[in-house]
A and B are shown apart, each in its own frame.
Chain A
Amino acid sequence: MPTKEEIYQKVQAALVDALGVEQEEVTPEATLVGDLGAESIDFLDIVFRLEKAFDIKIPQNELVPQDILTNAQYVKDGRLTPEGLAALQQRIPFVDLSKFAENPVVQDFPNVMTVGDICRYVEMKLGVA
């Protein structure tokens, strides 16, 4: 079982390769979109690299729950409803949504996820405490 530090290093390497950024830029607090310049196709690239690096399977919508973010039941006027927020938080407990929840505009969601969130997701998948 890898340590948290080993997970961080592998996530860092995956993001450096997927996004063409410098290793120093990939800090735990860096957001994937805002700070590292990730675009939508990059998320699929990141998913594939994480699967390979950690020998895990990442089902569609598990890391980025597009199904919730595009579900009319959960989105009203471009914002997540309280039910939508709850569903999102339940699906991605590894992401701190408290700030996003103050103004949950769906199109702002891509800028929420950080490098640290990805690490916590992998830790969760691997059962690292």
Chain B
Amino acid sequence: MRWFWIDRFLEFECGRRAKAIKNISLAEEHLQDHFPGYPVMPASLIVEGAAQTGGLLVAQCSDFREKVVLAKVSSARFYAEAVPGDTLIYTATIEALQKDGASVQVTVHRQEELLAELQLMFAHLDGEFADKTLFKPKTLLFWLRALGTFQVGRLPDGGPLHEPDWMRQAEAADPD
């Protein structure tokens, strides 16, 4: 299973807000067990979808160079179950950003209905983790492309978000 819990970005306003879509399918394996005969998307995976939406938004602020990790779920409230056939819309908004990390608010909607609200803290890994790699640049670039990040991404001045040169160079140098 690929650990992708959003399908595509609908909007990506750099440094501010991102909106991502997640279509829930009965074909997802975990739904056979959660729960047998009563498939419901686990709330923990909704948190993951929120974290992927917010985490990539935060990572873009450093041109995807910082190692951004979900460090804390400050709050998470769920108001209804998400089931196969539902289309979830994650809207992540950066509330605060510093060198050490960021605070992001995420809402999850099914059409007009609010399904969940989350407050997430992301940290930039440094210190003893400075030399660690979370993703190979080409893997991250593949994911960002698959999500349509560069089709919808907009810089603060309204211009298009381009694939970072450093990632393209790293990809070219890593053909395997």
Which range contains the number of A residues in contact with the other chain?
10 to 19
Tell me, in angstroms, the Cα distance from A48 to B104 when the chains sit together.
11
B98 touches A45 (CB 8 A): no
For residue A51, CB closer than 8 A to chain B, the reply is yes
Convert B77-107 into 0s and 1s, putting 1 for each residue whose CB lies closer than 8 angstroms to a CB of A: 0000000000000000001101111010000
CB contacts (< 8 Å) of B98 on chain A: these are 44, 47-48, 60
Interface pairs (24), CB distance under 8 Å: A17-B74, A18-B74, A41-B71, A41-B72, A41-B101, A41-B121, A42-B72, A44-B71, A44-B98, A44-B100, A44-B101, A44-B103, A44-B121, A44-B123, A45-B103, A47-B98, A48-B95, A48-B96, A48-B103, A51-B96, A52-B95, A52-B96, A60-B98, A60-B100
Tell me the A residues contacting B by CB distance below 8 Å: 17-18, 41-42, 44-45, 47-48, 51-52, 60
Tell me, in angstroms, the Cα distance from A18 to B98 when the chains sit together.
17
Tell me, in angstroms, the Cα distance from A41 to B98 when the chains sit together.
12
Tell me, in angstroms, the Cα distance from A41 to B123 when the chains sit together.
7
CB proximity of A72 to chain B, nearest CB, Å: 14
CB proximity of B122 to chain A, nearest CB, Å: 9
Task: With A41-B101, A44-B100 given, name 11 new contacts (CB 8 A).
Answer: A41-B121, A42-B72, A45-B74, A45-B103, A45-B121, A48-B96, A48-B103, A51-B96, A52-B95, A52-B96, A60-B98
